[in-house]
Amino acid sequence: MTPFMRSNRAVSKADIDEATALKEVSVGTSQVMNYLTQQAGGYHNVGFTHKDLYNALQRGKAKEIVDGDVNALIAYFDYKKHDDPGFFVTYSVDESGALHNLIWSDSTSRSDYICFSDVIAFDTTYKDNLNGRPIMPIVGVNHHHNTIVFATAIIAYETSQSFEWVLQNFLEAMMKKSPISVVTYGDRAMQRAIKSVIPSAKHRLCSWHISCNAQANIGDPKFTAVFSKCMVSWWTTDEFDIQWHSVVLEFNVEKHPWVIEKGNTRHL
């Protein structure tokens, strides 16, 4: 595992150039990673992870953002602040002056948060936005069981530092009021950021994402259905462990890497 310690991982300029060329002809990042892995003779020889490659490509995109783009965006938000005195926006730039992280929330969203802040949810799986960066809607549920947006962030990279920046500024926008529970899709960097910035909050995983991952990894709709039912049922910890063990044995997946990983991380 030594090659995959953070200190030993790096994406070379040659790999970045090749990946960039492939991306320009609409090859997805996962396919690029598979190609580079095959070229290197296997995953253990490539020298970096999928997320390392993604972040390296994002750094290249950030350099392409010109001052005019940033100025236009900030000018728009300045206009919004005049139109809505309760509009909140803040952003950061990198050493070259390129837009780094950004978060905003209007007065209605901030008022909603005061009333419905018990549980908030994050999802950075949306990539179709400003220069392909992850967009992170921060949402909740109101008394009509409707989804409401508390704030929206655009981040440079999916790192603990970026997530911490978002959480700190989100709390600043919401008068330092912390949520009771936070729901995410399981990103480890986000998990570390939550523990750092909102240590009192209970962290929970999104059941929908887990069910999707179960189907993607196991590939058996019957397992996914039984697993999902097990996951959302009202069990004590001991009852859940018994039921989990029963489901795993029933479908003969006790040695599957995804099942082992989920079993080991069921307690956040």
Q: Write the DSSP symbol of residue 41.
A: T
**Domains of the chain, CATH where assigned:** 2-64 (no CATH), 67-205 (3.30.420), 207-264 (no CATH)
Degrees to nearest 5, angle at CA 139 with 107 and 170: 60
Q: What is the pLDDT of residues 225-241, one digit of tens each?
A: 998 888 888 888 888 88
Position with higher pLDDT, 268 vs 214: 214
pLDDT of 1 higher than 80: no
CB under 8 Å, gap of 24 or more: what pairs does 224-229 form?
226/250, 226/251
Q: What is the pLDDT of residue 118?
A: 95
**Residue range 69-95: mean pLDDT, rounded:** 83
Q: What is the pLDDT of residue 124?
A: 64
pLDDT of 14 higher than 70: yes
Average pLDDT of the chain?
A: 83
Q: What is the pLDDT of residues 109-127, one digit of tens each?
A: 999 999 999 999 986 665 5
Which among 95, 4, 92, 14 has a CA at the least distance from the CA of 52? 4
Q: What is the pLDDT of residues 162-181, one digit of tens each?
A: 999 999 999 999 999 999 99
H-state helical runs in the chain: 13-23, 29-40, 43-46, 50-64, 67-83, 107-115, 160-173, 188-197, 207-218, 221-232, 237-250, 257-264
Q: Cα separation of 190 and 51, whole Å?
A: 14
Q: What is the pLDDT of residue 169?
A: 98
